[in-house]
Structure 1
């Protein structure tokens, strides 16, 4: 069959309705076009980097495949590395198995090369994961998780020991641009996005409720953080718990991250997909450190 792949013009008539219908049908959701935009599009004007872009596959005027390429800036050795997260990847059920998904990714890759991107990345589920493997993406493995409970003994035992002279650092490290992500997520979540600063450290995220039987458990899901003073980190987390009156704080971070050194026993996060990367301008190796947390995901 023949189909056309191109950049989607956000001003196209009826395009929002088509994208929303395709995403909602594929993932059994009920999202509005406005919510999808807030979730997958960032203009990145805060740092003068390229904006996000959408790629669609069309059978004449009908949208049959879609992927958002969300613009992110990462920091490495003081330099800004602009990258793109391909997310909300979907193909119309009746058109699957015809190479539309990899064709969209390849088209987006070429566009990202033109824009000077460092790399493409994804956090694929069990359906899209095998496709990215065939497309020669590098799999940098799972994310780790630590739940720090508001229970004195368990709280104390969750943290590693740090001295005032200790520095949380590793060579060849990529860091999230936390202020950029806070800007993007505030546009999406409004006042539900919480930013806590204390003793040279910054932790941001969302307060959520988890229902266990008849009991509601409140917790702080961390989207990202800046830890300038690791010896104060435990104290900062304790104050965060008290301020927001929560039962625990959830930290999820990539397995290569230096953040794992802040805790005694991080475990592989269940139900969290792996981190896959396709290098473009940036040269990547197995020694790279990705200090990434859930804030880099479109659905945080």
Structure 2
């Protein structure tokens, strides 16, 4: 009989088992990255595994994040670090772990489970495991001497923001966690709006450019959010900015320049103690364990 068991993520012995499985399944995976994802997250992490004769053969972790909706606060768990030993594939271990986690995390008081699957695994979450799915849409902003292109329609943004149904994450908490691992992140406030991100250097047709990747944001004054993006781009010297937003959410609907969702990972969600569907979860890309 296959048994799914909770794992002690603070144990060095358990850590070594997980690292060995990750390295077997995917190649290099470092101890510091393990600590950052599973030990240093602000709201903790939970891990579940399946063993065969004492050896860990399947594993999945869930990172805790602070979430808000209509005056409620809670903890949502991000599915991450899924791995199955190559010799034990096709036995349904992944599904068994997810189903076990759905029950256990609800008992722990979790609001919902979410994640960023690829376009192959996304439908599996939906068809076999009861998750809802929503596409994420890249929103692009360009800065030139005349100002910001890809303008945000502040009126539409305000109209689309529905606090009774939209789920948002504590981006300041996320930024503090990310900065503890990587000091290249920046933050900026403007009139109670907020964003954090990092800058990448790109070369397009021989021209060096700076791309600002917005990892997360908080929108409190919609008409001023475009100004915050323009100020941030000027501060870091970026010619382009990009963020991934829920295709059904306020920012994607109000942005002037949007790219195809074809190459962008969707968001999935499964309700635990909150009644949540993925289309109402604004899970910014900076929340990802690999951002």
Scaled by the length of structure 2, the TM-score of the pair is 0.88
1:117-151 deviation digits (Å, cap 9, x = unpaired)? 12111211244334313334333321011221223
- Partner residue, 2:131: 138
Q: For the residues of structure 2 that align with 1:185 and 1:295, how far apart are their CA atoms?
A: 8
1:280 equivalenced with 2:272 (yes/no): yes
1:19: Cα distance to partner?
1.7
5+ residue gaps, structure 1, are 46-50
Q: For the residues of structure 2 that align with 1:106 and 1:54, how far apart are their CA atoms?
A: 13
- Partner residue, 1:296: 287
Q: For the residues of structure 2 that align with 1:188 and 1:253, how far apart are their CA atoms?
A: 24
- SS of 2:269's equivalent in the other structure is strand
- Aligned positions of 1:1-300 closer than 5 A: 2-28=1-27, 30-44=28-42, 51-152=44-145, 156-162=148-154, 169-170=161-162, 171-189=164-182, 191-212=183-204, 214-284=206-276, 289-300=280-291
Q: Is the Cα–Cα contact under 8 Å of residues 139 and 274 in structure 1 kept in the other structure?
A: no
1:7-52 deviation digits (Å, cap 9, x = unpaired)? 1113444332332232233234x2212212213445535xxxxx31
- SS of 2:242's equivalent in the other structure is strand
Q: For the residues of structure 2 that align with 1:129 and 1:140, how far apart are their CA atoms?
A: 7
Scaled by the length of structure 1, the TM-score of the pair is 0.86
5+ residue gaps, structure 2, are none
1:40-81 deviation digits (Å, cap 9, x = unpaired)? 445535xxxxx3111111112211111111111210012112
Q: For the residues of structure 2 that align with 1:209 and 1:22, how far apart are their CA atoms?
A: 34
- SS of 1:291's equivalent in the other structure is coil
Q: Is the Cα–Cα contact under 8 Å of residues 23 and 90 in structure 1 kept in the other structure?
A: yes
1:215: Cα distance to partner?
4.5
1:167: Cα distance to partner?
6.7
Q: Is the Cα–Cα contact under 8 Å of residues 199 and 229 in structure 1 kept in the other structure?
A: yes
Aligned length: 289
Q: For the residues of structure 2 that align with 1:291 and 1:113, how far apart are their CA atoms?
A: 21
